[in-house]
Structure 1
Amino acid sequence: MEQRNEAFRDGVELSMTTRGEWKENSHAGHLAARHASGAPAASAGDAGSVSFMRSTAKPLQAAAGIAAGLMEHYGLPEGAIALMSASHRGGEQHVELLEKMLELTGVREEQLAFHPDYPLGRNERDEAMRRRLPPRKLYHTCSGKHIGLLAFCRMNGWPLEGYTAMDHPLQRELLRHIALFTDMDESAIGRAVDGCGLPVFIVPLERLALAYARLASPPDDWADEPLRRAARRISAAMLAYPDLVEGQGRLASVLLASGIVAKSGAQGVFALALPEAGLGVAFKVLDGGESAWPVIAASVLEQAADEAARLPGVDAAKLTEAAGKIRAAYPEDMVNDMGTTTGRREAVLKLEWI
């Protein structure tokens, strides 16, 4: 166990919360930024610290099937790509498109590996329970990914049984694509089991940042044209359907609506990319929480805007505007039940640019 944990390192302070005149909480972690070329761009803490990709892997996993012609094979609409990449909230628009995906692919809801559930979104869950709807597998936040992967199995003639097993042909193909996006040997990528039952990958944060840079802006000398085309198509679909990717008010959806490719993962991991600049960013909050994400993301965008003069393709005005939208959606002032301001959430990270 010590050998496996040696790459998990103490972080630097990324953000904090105050109450009155005192600091109440500190959120430590690591951050890495990389150019799509593979060159390092910036860091806070240790860019080589490892993290499970969790749901940030979804768009990269979807790329395997899309590069192989999954969309054309089944006649799927472009919104399906957003749901294959999604951690959706289980709202009506999500379920309607998921049902269409089942119809077009021939995948059956009962074939999804996990148990039936209620929607992840609080409002969506309340609505389902108010209407006395039963739990179902389509409500699961990962159902779009699983439908896409099962459809990929059907297209290739691979068995649907055991599709979550690490030695299944599907999982070997997904590992190959993660290795391509991260520029790692397959043997160097650790795997465990994710919340939805699929294998989950553990990689250095700098490699996750590289993967997102390539997803948003694939270089001409990377991979083959089908995969480059799939990466561009996935990014375009996520940007076109931000609320399908997560849901209204979610940080990733706020960023996507601002033209920034973004995806959250469980246990504190978050990834984003600036398509015009070919710049990917990944950070991990070591306490596993999400509350620190917005101020960290806003600070990253503002610091990148400050460096626009030496970062080709970075639009300072666009990043500043996106940071403002984050701050509007997630106010930094904290208010109690009486409406009194009690403290603030503040980013303290200082990016070291390379």
Structure 2
Amino acid sequence: MTTVVIPNYNGLVYLKDCLEALEQQTYKDFEILVVDNGSTDGSIEYVANYYKSIRLIALDKNYGFTGAVNRGIKATDNEFVVLLNNDTIPAVDWLEALVKCIVSHADAFSCCSKMMQVQDENIIDDAGDGYTVFGWAYKGYDGASAEKANKTRAITSCCAGAAIYRRSIFNQIGYLNDDFFAYLEDVDLSLRAMRAGYKHYFCHDALLTHIGSATSGSKYNDFKVRISARNSVWVYQMNIAKWLKVINSLPYILGISVKFFAFKRWGFGNAYLAGIREGFKNKPSREYCQQIQGSISVRTDWFLYLSMWKDTFAYIKMKMEMKRIFGGYQK
């Protein structure tokens, strides 16, 4: 059996379409668990009154994406856990495709969906995430036409907005890091799993549409830029071995510099610098990493670093094809 965990914070306007789409799924062996982050827009009452079969966890305040989904994961003992954003509308066979994908890949910790833009369902929003030597994470094929991502493949990271996970592996590598609150927490989790020897896959036939930035309100704002910048430092500091940081110091410094000047041009330079400073000054909890130290080796770290270079070239190719110079992991 599978549990679909939907974190929600004042997302009543999106919940109806998402929940109705889940009711139409061809795969039936699943339950829905909505974890609400202290909403004040009637979300809790709506779910409680109109969806009696849905499990509901109503939290006392906003614990962020990480806090909500961690509580959801811990509240189930089913074999598979699906994390799903409330601003998505899954196709009828979406969940069936995800379950088939992870079952067919015994080495997989997670498999992610083919997320399409709600404004144009022929344009990709996310088709598996990458992580570059610049310390940037990015959405695969973001803005490209649907046919660009038409096969299942191994990837570096799964977007937790629509992905399936083997629940038992959380016990080994830890949960999403609560200190992240939101943004890049899924990249941190994915890199941690890779260092423990697990893989991630993009499932091309697990289709859904995604509005994007529904909770944060906009693609860029001071809060989102600052938190994303802070978390980007944490992802790098916690998952890249010390000796690799030395080797990769120049690309990493270049990555921070390029992003700063880009955000400065867009009016968010101060927010970006504040996040970078906070990331280096304040360290997140390391209890998650400590659980997997025994399985980390020079070989796994080299494999991760080679994957970063592969993703770097893929990112550059993608941007050149789309005639964009700059972009990043902004949900």
Return the structure number with greater relative CO, CA threshold 8 A, min gap 6: 1
Bigger radius of gyration, 1 or 2?
1
